[in-house]
Amino acid sequence: MTFSEKIKQPIFWSNFIKIALPFFIILIVMTLLWRSWSDIFAGNFHAISESHFKNGKWIAFFASKTIASIIYGLYVTNKNMK
């Protein structure tokens, strides 16, 4: 079955959500831990907010994770559907 035939099936999209959403959440958590390890464990959430989310930085932060999650979800779902 080709990719264009698979995306027409409702089961494809439910499987896609099952893959992409957890990947998105894990990616966000891992990125915050990687970039702000000391601020997280010090409880300095203002510094985390300033470095990742203020002044429009949240758009780039979430856009890259959203795009990566969509690509990964489509790839894995397409690969695993028969």
Domain ranges (residues) in the chain: 3-80
Phi, psi (5° rounding) for residue 43? 80, 20
DSSP label at 55?
Answer: G
pLDDT in tens, 27-76: 999 999 999 999 999 999 999 999 989 999 999 999 999 999 999 999 99
How much is the pTM? 0.86
Task: With beta carbons less than 8 A apart as the criterion, state whether 18 and 2 touch.
Answer: no
pLDDT score of 24 more than 90: yes
